[in-house]
């Protein structure tokens, strides 16, 4: 009986999580097949996975490496704009432009990460706010600075049209599922491997990690680059589906706050915590936009929720579920001397 209730090995847990990811992806992939008119369900699925991708991407640097970034909207917007511009100006297939936008954002992450990741705690957080705002202003005034028409400033750019390679909603649905699966697999690989071990070591004690030979600077920059790549991929998916971009919405500080809020509420530093947070956030956001007319009320509610989570359950939803699992195991596990 004891052997049946023993904890599964780390390898078994990883395999089980990989299988679960593919089961989720397979179930979501059946939506357009079972119902060709399931447009609203596809919309809900897109935004749920979109938020999950964003939350998981931030968790790589904020949860694993312990560096709280408030500037991830810069990578989100960069991926969206690079994808949109290559699609509209170069007439490139947007699904091909999508990873290019991710690579550009990853390079930008390395560029800003080398100096800023030397900072710690609130100093890094403040620096990322500055980077996010500077990137937004640069995108807004890009045309005026260089004397060309590309981003169209605050007006924004419209995408799609008869002269551009079009992608239907079902293709976007499947592309989003593929990106979600890749993000989850990379997240699991990082957490289970030496890369993740190094990130958690510097998260707990950076000085001690450097003393034993962990290349903390290189690991942090690499984690930020990977995080930026997937945040930009989410931006590219948004551009393809919504077919309209403007700097205020794509580079807005509210996006950076939402990216931080989801993994914190769900369970920072865990694999599934950001997914739990994304499910909660996307559900609440969808309902609030329907019933609340005041645009500032949702931000107030999210702020209160964030404070409550930090005060009473720092591990978020994942922590609650883990603690509940321990109580269940205590109930079913036999006492000493039992059968």
What is the tens place of the pLDDT at every residue in 265-316?
888 989 999 999 999 888 887 777 677 666 667 767 777 777 777 777 777 7
Nearest to 67 by CA among 255, 224, 228: 224
Residue 190 has pLDDT above 90, yes or no: yes
Distance of CA 307 to the CA centre of its chain: 21
Most confident of 41-50, 252-261, 296-305, 318-327: 41-50
Handedness of CA 237, 239, 240, 243 (dihedral sign): positive
Q: How confident is the model at residue 3 (pLDDT cuts 50, 70, 90)?
A: very low
- Neighbouring residues of 339: CB distance < 8 A, sequence distance ≥ 6: 1
Contact 32, 15 (CB under 8 A): no
Average pLDDT over residues 127-154: 90
Tell me the backbone φ, ψ of residue 245, rounded to 5 degrees. -135, 140
- Neighbouring residues of 154: CB distance < 8 A, sequence distance ≥ 6: 140, 246, 247, 248
CA–CA gap between residue 63 and residue 200 (Å, rounded) = 9
Higher-pLDDT residue of 50, 168? 50
Q: How confident is the model at residue 69 (pLDDT cuts 50, 70, 90)?
A: very high
Contact 182, 170 (CB under 8 A): no
Distance of CA 33 to the CA centre of its chain: 27
The position carrying tokens 């990977």 is 226
At how many degrees (to 10) do helices 39-59 and 273-291 cross?
A: 130
The helix or strand, by DSSP H or E, that contains position 244, with its residue range, turns out to be strand 244-245
Tell me the backbone φ, ψ of residue 87, rounded to 5 degrees. -70, -45
Q: What is the pTM of this model?
A: 0.90
pLDDT at 126: 93
The helix or strand, by DSSP H or E, that contains position 158, with its residue range, turns out to be strand 157-158
CA–CA gap between residue 9 and residue 290 (Å, rounded) = 45
Average pLDDT over residues 101-123: 93
Average pLDDT over residues 133-147: 91
């Amino acid at each position: 009986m004891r052997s049946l209730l023993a904890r599964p090995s780390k390898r078994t847990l990883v395999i089980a999580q990989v299988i679960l990811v593919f089961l989720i992806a397979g179930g979501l992939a059946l939506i357009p097949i079972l119902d060709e008119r399931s447009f609203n369900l596809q919309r809900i699925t897109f935004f749920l996975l979109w938020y999950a991708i964003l939350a998981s991407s931030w968790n790589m640097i904020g949860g694993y490496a312990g560096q709280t970034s408030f500037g991830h909207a810069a990578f989100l917007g960069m991926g969206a704009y690079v994808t949109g511009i290559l699609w509209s100006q170069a007439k490139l297939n947007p699904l091909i432009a999508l990873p290019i936008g991710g690579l550009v954002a990853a390079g930008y992450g390395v560029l800003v990460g080398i100096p800023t990741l030397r900072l710690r705690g609130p100093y890094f957080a403040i620096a990322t706010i500055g980077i996010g705002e500077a990137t937004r202003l640069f995108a807004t005034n890009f045309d005026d600075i260089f004397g060309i028409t590309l981003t169209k400033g605050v007006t924004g750019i419209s995408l799609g049209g008869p002269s551009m390679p079009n992608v239907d909603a079902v293709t976007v649905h499947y592309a989003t599922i593929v990106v979600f699966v890749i993000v989850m697999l990379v997240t699991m690989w990082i957490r289970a491997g030496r890369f993740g071990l190094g990130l958690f070591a510097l998260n707990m004690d950076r000085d001690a990690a450097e003393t034993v030979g962990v290349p903390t600077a290189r690991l942090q920059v690499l984690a930020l680059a990977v995080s930026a790549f997937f945040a930009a991929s989410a931006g590219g998916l948004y551009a393809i589906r919504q077919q309209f971009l403007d700097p205020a919405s794509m580079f807005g500080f509210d996006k950076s706050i939402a990216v931080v809020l989801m993994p914190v509420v769900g369970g920072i530093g865990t694999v599934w915590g950001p997914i739990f947070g994304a499910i909660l956030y996307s559900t609440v956001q969808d309902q609030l936009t329907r019933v609340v007319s005041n645009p500032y009320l949702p931000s107030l509610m999210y702020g209160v929720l964030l404070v409550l989570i930090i005060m009473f359950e720092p591990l978020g939803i994942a922590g609650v579920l883990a603690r509940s699992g321990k109580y269940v195991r205590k109930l079913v596990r036999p006492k000493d001397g039992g059968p």
